[in-house]
Amino acid sequence: MYENCTQTILAVWERNDLTRASFAAAVAKHNGQTPHRPNATMLPREYRGVAVAVALFLLVQLGALALVVLGAGIAIALWVYPEWYVVDTAGVLMGAGAAGLFGITFGLLPAIVLLSVLAVYDAISVYKTEHMLDLADGVMDLRIPVILVIPLSWSYSLLDNVGGDDDNEADDAETNDANVDNSGVDDAETNDVDVDDSGVDDSEVDDAEANDVDDASSDDPSDDIAPNPDSREAFFIGLGDAVIPGVMVASAAFFIPAEFRYEIALVTINTPALASLCGTLAGLLVLMSMVMKGKPHAGLPLLNGGAIGGYLLGALWVGIPLAEALGVAGFL
């Protein structure tokens, strides 16, 4: 009987030139089964692959467009309303991108050398030449995202507390001009009378010296950067103090061999990079304890030192030789 069925089906195949789907349907019907009819809307695999590719391309393009819109929005916010949270948001985005880019560009040895040199430079520019204090004071008035503002109260406003010196100087200039106009004649007459005097009153000299000392102290940029602890309303940290140690963390996470990597909360990291991050945070805590006393301090010596020290300790902990951790194994 089976041979008869097969011959019948083959005869039908040859007579009607059926496709494979029709042949399968005929076999199923002959066996008393419901023939399977494929979904007419189902696309071939190639078309489905094209559809997925188009969707991925759209996601990439729309993601890039979203980043452009986000960046433009932050730039406009900085221009229109540069409050401390706007400045901090822009600084965090810029700093994260810069630290990651430099970290995967530099190797371990260049990163260590860079952090060491910048730490020495920062110490000299703050404690010796003090030009970094003048630079930081001017940057604060510009309200651009090269500083991180940490307010100490919810009512703090960067717009109200920074940048008022220019208005005060303008008022002082107008007051001085008015005094000159009002007392110019009297001063001239007094000078004519006092020309023949052989000396100057000591009290006037003392007053002038005292005024010079007061002016010099009022011009000290450290008063704006780290004022008296009782009058402090916010902490100011340079964006570079956050970016430069991050270069060491990113470089360790990228260049350490893969066998030392593991995942923490969907983030792939390794022990040297994690230790470098912990060392940076430890340096930050020491730095903030020093700043709380009311004087500005160089941040990179502590932050970079913590980042490098933590990285080396983490590398030695997992068994990486010191020469390989320093990136000089290829030169030895």
CA distances from 332 to 7, 21, 100, 152 (A): 81, 70, 29, 51
> Helix, strand, coil proportions of the chain in percent (round to 5)?
70, 5, 25
Q: How many CB atoms lie within 10 A of CB 254?
A: 17
Q: In tens digits, what is the pLDDT along the chain, a chain of 332 residues?
A: 556 656 665 565 555 554 555 656 665 665 665 555 555 455 677 788 888 889 999 999 898 888 888 889 988 988 888 888 899 999 998 899 899 899 988 889 999 999 999 999 999 999 988 888 888 777 777 778 888 888 888 888 888 866 544 444 444 545 455 454 444 444 444 444 444 444 444 444 444 444 454 444 445 555 555 555 556 788 888 888 999 999 999 999 999 888 888 777 777 788 999 999 999 999 999 999 988 887 888 899 999 999 999 999 999 999 999 999 998 887 87
Residue whose structure tokens are 């199923």: 28
Alpha-carbon torsion (206, 209, 215, 220), positive or negative: negative
Q: What is the pTM of this model?
A: 0.64
What pLDDT is attached to residue 162? Answer: 60
Which residues make Cβ contacts (< 8 Å) with residue 223, sequence separation at least 6? Answer: 217
Alpha-carbon torsion (115, 121, 127, 130), positive or negative: negative
> Residue 147's beta-bridge partner residues?
238
Whole-angstrom distance between the N-terminal and C-terminal Cα of the chain?
A: 85
188 three-class SS: helix
Q: How many CB atoms lie within 10 A of CB 249?
A: 26
Which residues make Cβ contacts (< 8 Å) with residue 144, sequence separation at least 6? Answer: 78, 82, 87
8 A C-beta contact, residue 277 and residue 310: yes
Burial class (CB in 10 A: 0-12, 13-18, 19+), 312: buried
- φ, ψ for residue 237 (rounded to 5)? -125, 130
Alpha-carbon torsion (218, 219, 224, 226), positive or negative: negative
What pLDDT is attached to residue 232? Answer: 73
Domain limits of the chain?
2-40, 43-80, 82-163+226-331
Give CA–CA dist 315/317, Å, rounded.
Answer: 5
Give CA–CA dist 86/2, Å, rounded.
Answer: 82
Q: How open is the CA angle 29-31-36, to the nearest 5 degrees?
A: 45
8 A C-beta contact, residue 24 and residue 36: yes
8 A C-beta contact, residue 251 and residue 103: yes
Long-range CB pairs of 260-264, under 8 A, 24+ apart, other chains included: 260/318, 260/320
Give CA–CA dist 317/323, Å, rounded.
Answer: 14
